[in-house]
Structure 1
Amino acid sequence: MIGVTYSEEQLHLNTFTIFTRQWLTEGAKATLFVQHGYAEHSGRYKHVGEYFANHKYNVFMMDLPGHGQSSGIEGAPRTYIDSFETYITTINQFVDTMKTKMESKNIILPMFFMGHSMGGLLTSVLAGRRSEMKGFIASAPAYIIKNTGLNLFSWAIQGILKFNPYLTADMDSPSNIITNQEVAREYVTDPFNVCSKACAMTSLEMKSYGEVEKDRDLDIPFYLFHGSGDTLIDVKGARIKATHLNNPVSKYVEYPGANHVLLEEDNKFEMLDGVEKWVDSLIENK
């Protein structure tokens, strides 16, 4: 990519060694942070980074603790987290580190944050805490998880976790949440994904935060998009959240029939174009 410098860097954040990706663009008009979802990693979004870098954005991504090429809690299974706040603190430190890095180069640009699934839920949390951001974008945020066992027996799971904090359960097959089956097969063979077992503690934290976030009012600009055919995260959560978006420029877009992994759908670049146009409108009206 002409005028774009891509790099990878390990950062020490919140006691973890965090793997990061950075696209720095000549003449950038804004900075975009992109956060992956549960059991995946930043590499699944390289096409997103490249798309926005080609459209004059600096882009930053990180692998969450216990995900991808980042370290996790010592002795715990991959994707385990003791508290959702551990993710949030780590993300905040990453954002602050990159912001300071840019400011040291006299690069001061509008900042946006985007996340998918669990990353979309984290985006929703951050939207209520980082008012200096120009706007937030959430793709299929995990407000309501479609898991009967988790939803009916969360009280029992909480009891078991007191004795076995590393309790795991089988995960949904990628073939069920990704429309393109060639992509689903590649997803399974990706060495940095976790496709077999989900950590119950992380799932409960996600459920707990999702219940709060779906009903929380947001005054900051927020772009929310979801697929009506999502088999993992109930689209009703996004529809409820859409009624709590109070800023006149906030927007909800629903893609008929689209499954959970929206940015691997055949029309993913149509979706990214919609996001970019919305972000551009905020930059132009700054």
Structure 2
Amino acid sequence: MAETQWLTGPKETSFFVAVYSPSTPAKAVVLFLHGFGEHIGRYEAVFPRWTEHNIAVVTFDQRGFGRTALDVEHKSKDSSYGKTSTVDHMRDADFFLKWAREKFPEVPVFLLGHSMGGALALAFPTRSIAWPSRESVKSLSGVIATSPLLRQAVPASKIQRWLGGKLSVLSPWTTIPAPVKAEDLTHDPAINEAYLKDPLILQKGTLKGLSDMLNLGEHISDLDYQDWPKDLPVLLLHGTADKVTSHLATEKFFNEVNTSVKNYVPFEGGYHELHNEPDGVREKVIDECISWVEARIDPVKTRASL
């Protein structure tokens, strides 16, 4: 079970946080960033598998989502659903990365993200001047992105994107519908039904949050990959039948990013949430990530000590 708490982060925002600790001293710690519209409660069956390998996981409901946005008793006065931006996400990730390092000192630190969180994880090392501190980027021993939102599987039209961008400047926190079809998430009907009934998932977003999210993915894919640290390992996983985010964009990033260690694992026929796919896929995905992390920490050696 996770240890949960409320923690005050950037902009005096109160975040819902969960920490999965192994029963013996951790040999590594992973900071996890969830996807658009969801929350960390959807990963309660995933992270205990990491702790079985003595790897700790720190995660939080991101700004604008989950309990951080909706918990009536604990959320900040300024928090509301979808009220976020790329700058805020980067500052929050930087804050929690430092917090994870303090909670689990002297062990390698990894950044893991899914979908929107996957794009944020890939953007983090390329934004060391503007947002994340150089110290935080240098502290990373590796980055993992599953089904990252570099581009949508079916992109919005250029007119829609242009109009949305203009409106996001005029009225950034106006919410608009932003549905994700549950049947496109996994091949598991029970998971998809639970997604639709989840009270912490609202099928909407703000103009600013949505515009920033889509723009970030395109920037990573078109330009920012060039700024990836050459000694920072990266692992990418994507289902080839993903109807939400483009696996072709992930493959393109893999081919173009210049780093000494990079791995891409496509899952043939896999949908968007590989960690929720049935028939043994979810186990293969989790084990693939764990094995990759273990290969980076044996022997224990962090980039910060290089």
Q: Is 1:20 paired with 2:17? A: yes
1:175 and 1:198, CA in 2 relative to 1: closer, same or farther beyond 3 A? Answer: farther
- Structure-2 residue corresponding to 1:7: 3
Note the alpha carbon deviations across 1:223-280, whole angstroms, 9 max, x for none.
Answer: 0111110101111110110013323321011111111111111211101111111111
Offset of 1:150 from its aligned partner?
5.2
- Residue pairs, 1:53-68, within 5 angstroms: 53-68=51-66
Q: Is 1:270 paired with 2:284? A: yes
What is the alpha-carbon distance in structure 2 between the residues aligned to residue 169 and residue 6 of structure 1?
32
- Structure-1 residue corresponding to 2:258: 246
- Structure-1 residue corresponding to 2:133: none
Offset of 1:147 from its aligned partner?
4.6
- Residue pairs, 1:145-184, within 5 angstroms: 145-149=152-156, 151-165=158-172, 166-184=174-192
Offset of 1:24 from its aligned partner?
1.8
5+ residue gaps, structure 2, are: 70-74, 129-136, 302-306
- Structure-1 residue corresponding to 2:293: 279
What is the alpha-carbon distance in structure 1 between the residues aligned to residue 155 and residue 104 of structure 2?
45
5+ residue gaps, structure 1, are: none
Q: Is 1:190 paired with 2:198? A: yes
What is the alpha-carbon distance in structure 2 between the residues aligned to residue 76 and residue 19 of structure 1?
12
1:19 and 1:157, CA in 2 relative to 1: closer, same or farther beyond 3 A? Answer: same
Which moved further from structure 2: 32-41 or 21-30?
A: 21-30
Q: What RMSD, in angstroms, separates the aligned Cα atoms of the two structures? A: 1.9
Percent identity, aligned pairs only, is 22
Residue type of the partner of 1:242?
Answer: F
Residue type of the partner of 1:279?
Answer: V
Offset of 1:185 from its aligned partner?
0.3
- Residue pairs, 1:31-50, within 5 angstroms: 31-50=29-48
1:162 and 1:275, CA in 2 relative to 1: closer, same or farther beyond 3 A? Answer: closer
Note if contact 1:18-1:63 (Cα within 8 Å) is conserved in structure 2: yes
- Structure-2 residue corresponding to 1:99: 101
Residue type of the partner of 1:157?
Answer: G
Offset of 1:53 from its aligned partner?
0.6
Aligned equivalent of 1:80, options 79, 83, 97: 83
Q: Is 1:202 paired with 2:209? A: yes
- Structure-2 residue corresponding to 1:237: 249
Aligned equivalent of 2:142, options 126, 135, 139: 135
Q: Secondary structure at the match of 1:224?
A: strand
Deviating beyond 6 angstroms after TM superposition, the runs of 4 or more aligned structure 1 residues are none
